Amino acid sequence: MCEIGYIFLPKGGFEVQMPEPRSGVLTRKAEIVRRLRAVLPPDAVIDDTAETRAYECDALTAYRCPPLAAVLPSSTEEVAAVLRICHEEGVPVVPRGAGTSLAGGALPTEDCVILGLMRMNDVLEIDLDDRIVRVEAGRTNLSVSGAVEGDDFFYAPDPSSQLACAIGGNIAMNSGGAHCLKYGVTTNNLLGVKMVTMTGEIVEIGGAHLDASGLDLLGVICGSEGQLGVVTEATLRILRKPEGARPVLIAYSSNEVAGACVSDIIKAGVLPVAIEFMDRPCIRACEAFAQAGYPDCEALLIVEVEGSEAEIEEQLGLILQIARAHNPLELREATSEDEAKRIWLGRKSAFGAMGQINDYMCLDGTIPVSELPLVLRRIEELSAQYGLEVANVFHAGDGNMHPLILFDANTPGQLETCEELGAEILKLCVEVGGCLTGEHGVGVEKRDLMGFQYTPVDLEAQMRIKDVFDPQWLLNPAKVFPLDASAPRRAGAV
Amino acid sequence: MTLIPETETALAEAIRETKTPLAVRGGGTRQIGPAVGELLSVKAMSGISTYEPGALTLVAAAGTPIEEIDAALAVDHQQLSFEPMDARKLLGSKGLPTIGGAVAANISGPRRIQAGACRDSVLGVRFVDGTGAVVKNGGRVMKNVTGYDLVKLMAGSYGTLGVLTEVAIKVLPATASRASIEIAGLSDHDAVRAMAKAVGSPFDLTGAAHLPHGANGVPTTVLRIEGLDASVSYRAEKLVELAQGFGDTTLERDPEKVADTWRAIRDVEPFSEILGDVWRLSVRPSQAPDIAARAAGQVIYDWAGGLIWVLVPEGTDLRARLGQFGGYATLVRASPETKSNLGVFHPEPGPLAAIATGLRDKFDPNHILNPGLMG
């Protein structure tokens, strides 16, 4: 949910291990580009080294590498033509939506072709009776909702990069957002895709009907980080907008109490659309940056409910009753649109605020909600142990943490310390029954931490899927799986 | 002989030692195809290991009866949101439906349109694949994009990729209050239009079904809302207004009666006493009336038209009757001969069938887990 990359470094990047270029690809660049030009319009193939720089990284800006070439197809057929050529030439392909991945999902290798989908952004079909839209994969998340907004419908998953991020990237990363507690993530709102396999075959999976007839291939494609095929069209479920929504702000004197309040709200049978949590370091930074008027306290909750006026009253009544039982320092119910905006103001500017005062690393682990107090306490201890401040802002309702580790990139050694602390926090998330990443994806960023969560057998089972869809491991091959685990496959030995 | 391993380790060992086909069983209440080979039951792997009401999660062994889970959840006023069908009446089967069976078959009830399918509620799985390897995927948290989502792949794979040993499920608060709005006398087309209007309203329906032969033979369209009491009252009023534009409308607020109505729809009860084959069609809702007309059988619409249950005379090749349509037809109830002649699952286009075969070959290279069931 960070607006800025995982590591916000004012300058330069650092090393991440990437595979050796495929043999002969670099030397055959001219021939490969010539073949790509033969199937695409002139302006859709970029191979000039000055211009390929535009594709050298995504929102994980710490890692950069210009690709061999970038292509910008305008149709599924063009995507198929590109993939056929790359398959024949043995060239790795890295699909790219809008390049907003915080995990390096669209990070190139020097031997790869970046397949950018931004020219494919049409709305192909809107059907309010069947509550679906069908769009091309390069369309931005927010403009999907925009296409049906006039009819009071919306597309539910709302990653905070929604203004820029593409649906194709959302599908690759199974993106979430602030409202998942009620509406689910991308996979729960995706009904069908048109996809091109690495061999250039066009397949349609799912459609305007619900659920799969055979194996749920759609379910495994969503979240596969562009490693199984290139999605060019998506059929998405849209929902009617609720009549209204209202947030309430609750301040507590400790993280434990706020965590207990979250748990009690969920237990009580109310299902808010969002429960956001901020701790003191985060509150202070936001307040300094946005002057939202937040109380000075240890922990803040923003709880939002939806419905008609009467329904909002009923739900908030229950929530406030629970909140009061935990002796809040302050309870602030929005009584106007303006007040609602002010409640959200600080939260929405959290990452920007952090970027103002520090370099930071944004983590994305998820934990069982019941472990919130314990995990926050452990993070505090780890923070003291490593000597780096950690600010917490996250989706408490679904346990998706976003600890921000603050550091100074100009102080030698701090980046390394920060990385170590980050790994410790993610380990902690896994230990308490959670996971490494809740919505950003693995990419290259958490690729080498996969062993924390999965055994070699677990990873083997996942890699088998890729073996079936992409036997030569040409699609985005250096992501998700630790390089040593995927090496035999990338070398064609499996 | 039946294999009934008591632990995951024993199950893995049994699979490693087996060279011949195994017919994988949960409670055995929704047998979809012919059982080929030795029976392998997971019923001895049973019990809830974790239930955290404050985190809306429950972890249970695959053989845990659903009624045991329902009972545990009821204590904390929670429920399985995907409302799994009890197939015993329709199929004339005995035994106890298990959570593993429901997940393996991705069984979702009327609430599918609002709360998602069974597969959307499953947060994590453990399973033993056809090589005897124990695999885990997902976890017990609601947001998890760490690696590939094998959870979805396992849900609805009917034991052909592996034998589930444990599932983690997202549960939801049980509905404090509920209501049904019934419209009488609508044609199938009008009913589907009414349901589209209703589920496209801001009133958050958790069910929309149409029974062309409802009580006393009168076509009945039923809409359901659930939630906090005042909210249900408010939305009920709004929906009655909306429904009156289509036909004679009545409101049912008696919770027991509402529950009975929806249990009957969920379990396809009207077809349980009638002989004939039962098909389950997943379709685009707006096309449902035309597809149902082509089916030329008795039908029940659920999921606002997205799901059609069809009853036709034994041996009818419904797929031939329907021709091409966006969606699929599964043969749920028929004689073993008919199932073997027509195939239970809808034939897939070549490239998808090849991928599915490739996946089965990887996870079950010796073809011992429910071989031939899904292709």
> Which of B53, B76, B282 is opposite residue A210, by nearest beta carbon?
B282
CA angle A259/A260/A263 to nearest 5° reads 90
CB contact (8 A) between residue A188 and residue B140: no
CB contact (8 A) between residue A223 and residue B145: yes
* Confidence (pTM): 0.96
CB contact (8 A) between residue A468 and residue B362: yes
Please choose, from the candidates B35, B3, B33, the residue with its C-alpha nearest in 3D space to the C-alpha of residue B16: B3
**What is the side-by-side strand order in the sheet with A45-46?**
A45-46, A69-71, A113-116, A93-96
Model confidence at A450: pLDDT above 80: yes
Calpha distance B363→B365 (Å, rounded): 6
Residue A9 has what pLDDT? 38
The residue type found at A320 is L
Nearest CA in chain B to A266: B54
Neighbours of A321 (CB within 10 A): 11
Calpha distance A382→A420 (Å, rounded): 10
Tell me the shortest Cα–Cα distance from A237 to chain B, in angstroms.
Answer: 10
When pLDDT is averaged across residues A383-387 and rounded to a whole number, the result is 96
- At A99-139, the pLDDT tens digits run 999 999 999 999 999 999 999 999 999 999 999 999 999 99
When pLDDT is averaged across residues A281-294 and rounded to a whole number, the result is 88
Calpha distance B274→B333 (Å, rounded): 12
Q: What is the mean pLDDT of chain A?
A: 92
> Which of B147, B201, B374 is opposite residue A442, by nearest beta carbon?
B147
- A268 or A141, which is more confident: A141
Q: Which pLDDT band holds residue A356 (cuts at 50, 70, 90)?
A: confident
Specify the residue for token string 């909702």. A145
Calpha distance A475→A56 (Å, rounded): 17
Residue A5 has what pLDDT? 33
Residue A3 has what pLDDT? 30
Residue A494 has what pLDDT? 67
- At A301-319, the pLDDT tens digits run 999 999 998 899 999 999 9
Residue A14 has what pLDDT? 52
Question: Which range among A165-174, A290-299, B66-75, B325-334 shows the weakest confidence by mean pLDDT?
Answer: A290-299
Residue B232 has what pLDDT? 95
DSSP-derived 3-state class of residue B226 = strand
When pLDDT is averaged across residues B35-61 and rounded to a whole number, the result is 95
Q: Which pLDDT band holds residue A285 (cuts at 50, 70, 90)?
A: confident
CB contact (8 A) between residue A214 and residue B359: no
Phi, psi of B114 (to 5 degrees): -115, -45
Calpha distance B68→B60 (Å, rounded): 10
Interface of A with B in 363-382 (CB under 8 A): 366-370
Calpha distance A142→A133 (Å, rounded): 13
Interface test with A, best of B143, B151, B166, B370 (most A CBs within 10 A): B143
Residues contacting A427, CB < 8 A, separation 6+: A452
| Paired sense of beta strands A274-279 and A390-395, if any | antiparallel
DSSP secondary-structure letter at A336? S
Tell me the shortest Cα–Cα distance from B56 to chain A, in angstroms.
Answer: 8
Does A201 contact B at CB distance below 8 Å?
Answer: yes
CB contact (8 A) between residue B140 and residue A368: yes
- At A221-233, the pLDDT tens digits run 999 999 999 999 9
Q: Could you give the residue ranges of the DSSP H alpha helices within A174-296?
A: 180-183, 186-189, 217-221, 255-267, 280-290
DSSP-derived 3-state class of residue B311 = strand
DSSP-derived 3-state class of residue A125 = strand
CB contact (8 A) between residue B306 and residue A460: no
* Total residue length of chain A: 494
Model confidence at B255: pLDDT above 80: yes
Residue A8 has what pLDDT? 37
Model confidence at A13: pLDDT above 80: no
Does A207 contact B at CB distance below 8 Å?
Answer: yes
Residue A15 has what pLDDT? 64
Does A115 contact B at CB distance below 8 Å?
Answer: no
Please choose, from the candidates A211, A193, A226, A200, the residue with its C-alpha nearest in 3D space to the C-alpha of residue A107: A226
When pLDDT is averaged across residues A178-183 and rounded to a whole number, the result is 86
The residue type found at B26 is G
Calpha distance A134→A126 (Å, rounded): 7
Nearest CA in chain B to A458: B135
| Strand runs labelled E in A86-164 | 93-96, 113-116, 123-127, 132-136, 153-154
Residue B1 has what pLDDT? 79
Model confidence at A1: pLDDT above 80: no
Question: In this complex, how many residue pairs, one in chain A and one in chain B, have their CB atoms less than 8 Å apart?
Answer: 272
Calpha distance B2→A491 (Å, rounded): 43
Calpha distance A404→A386 (Å, rounded): 14
CB contact (8 A) between residue B129 and residue A461: yes
When pLDDT is averaged across residues B21-30 and rounded to a whole number, the result is 95
Tell me the shortest Cα–Cα distance from A327 to chain B, in angstroms.
Answer: 19
Neighbours of B340 (CB within 10 A): 13
CB contact (8 A) between residue A217 and residue B356: yes
Whole-angstrom Cα Rg for chain B: 21
Which residues on chain B are in Cβ contact (under 8 Å) with A308?
202, 231, 234-235
Q: What is the mean pLDDT of chain B?
A: 96
- At B97-155, the pLDDT tens digits run 999 999 999 999 999 999 999 999 999 999 999 999 999 999 999 999 999 999 999 99
Residue A359 has what pLDDT? 85
Does A305 contact B at CB distance below 8 Å?
Answer: no
